[in-house]
Chains A and B, each alone.
Chain A
Amino acid sequence: MSNSGHDHPHEEPRYERSPWAARIRAVEELLVEQGVFTDEELKSQIAYMEARSYENGARLVARAWVDPAFKERLLSDTKAAAAELGVDASGPVEFVTVENTDELHNVIVCTLCSCYPRAILGRPPDWYKSFAYRSRVVAEPREVLLEFGLDIPADKLIAVHDSSADLRYLVLPERPGGTEAMDEGELATLVTRDSLIGTDVPRAGQGVGQA
């Protein structure tokens, strides 16, 4: 890589690149050479994505649990509600939050690719992009959720959301019982990444755990 054939140096990789990583880097270099974007723009976009995590979603949920007016705003305009907490989700796609209740459990998938509310939650877990999850959760959600350790009672309805177009979905899980004394910051630690997708639910006493 020391002789990259053009006039700016590249940092030597600290480990050997996989063929996929090498291909991606080659495409990146071509796009920069062709003037589609600059190296700086590329780095800033990577930094933008790295700065996002499910913890943003946990903050939204915890605020919604303690502030009913915020909850209404989160359900009616997720983008604006995220902005209130300093999360910039502006961009070409829209965001929708769906609410779990004692009668309804929501779970999110994108069967066609891996659509995910990245501007808020960052990158999806690898399993979310797997063929097995995408093909099975639409057809046998109860079995799939059971494999995640979530046994949805037969009398509770399951709603699967296949986010195949311009909307990205987050789940607003139910606040677990026994958390009445917890403040907003403590509540946020109960909200796991998977509970924002619907393959988990927050549990009292769970703490920061994220398997």
Chain B
Amino acid sequence: MVGGVIRPATDTRFVPGDAVRVRDVEEEGHVRTPDYAKGKPGWISTVLGSFPNPESLAYGGDGLPKRPLYKVGFLQTDLWEDYDGSPEDVLFIDLYEHWLEPIESAGEERL
């Protein structure tokens, strides 16, 4: 979907195609994980690179260690029970690695 790695990425846990679930936890602070994605299954579309952690940067921290950032794809029908567009419609969110956990893949080809 996206051209590929935008910045160097180190110690990445996931590769494109991996099935993941967004951690379903409440955390205070400058969290860049939207609530509507929490607990939802998706897949790694692109490894975007390692970026300073915004949850630290926002409070004057140094953002270190940098966190791998992924473009994560979701089927709209997995996000919204009553989604009535095309069952193939997708949504992408850029999520930091510490918000993702591995799950079993359904083995389907994804964008």
Instruction: Using CB atoms and an 8 Å cutoff, list the residues of chain A in contact with chain B.
Output: 75-77, 94, 96, 98, 111-112, 138-142, 154-167
CB of B62, distance to nearest CB on chain A (Å): 14
CB contacts under 8 Å to A, within B64-96, are 69, 71, 76, 79-80, 83-86, 88-96
**Is B54 at the interface (CB under 8 A from chain A)?**
yes
A154 proximity list for chain B (CB < 8 A): 86
A160 to B91 CA separation, bound complex (whole angstroms):
5
- Within B25-84, the residues touching A (CB, 8 Å) are 32-34, 36, 48, 51, 54, 69, 71, 76, 79-80, 83-84
Q: Among the listed B32, B71, B85, which residue makes an inter-chain contact with A158, where contact means beta carbons less than 8 Å apart?
A: B85
28 residue pairs from A and B, CB less than 8 Å apart:
A94-B7, A94-B48, A96-B3, A111-B34, A111-B36, A138-B91, A139-B83, A141-B76, A141-B85, A142-B89, A156-B86, A157-B86, A157-B88, A157-B89, A158-B85, A158-B86, A158-B90, A160-B89, A160-B91, A162-B94, A164-B32, A164-B34, A164-B95, A165-B69, A166-B48, A166-B69, A167-B69, A167-B71
What separation, in Å, do the CA atoms of A154 and B87 have in the docked complex? 10
Query: With a CB–CB cut-off of 8 A, which chain B residues contact A76?
Result: 3-4
Q: Which of these, B4, B7, B88, B93, contacts A162 with CB under 8 Å?
A: B93
Q: How many A-B residue pairs have CB under 8 A?
A: 84
Chain A, residue nearest B111 (CB) = A159
**A165-B51 in contact (CB<8A):** yes
CA distance A112 to B1 in the complex (A): 22
| A142 and B85 in contact, given A77-B3, A94-B7, A165-B69 (Cβ under 8 angstroms) | yes
Contact A166 B51 (CB under 8 A): yes
Q: Are B36 and A159 in contact (CB under 8 A)?
A: no
> Contacts A154-B86, A159-B90 given: A164-B33 contact, CB under 8 Å?
yes
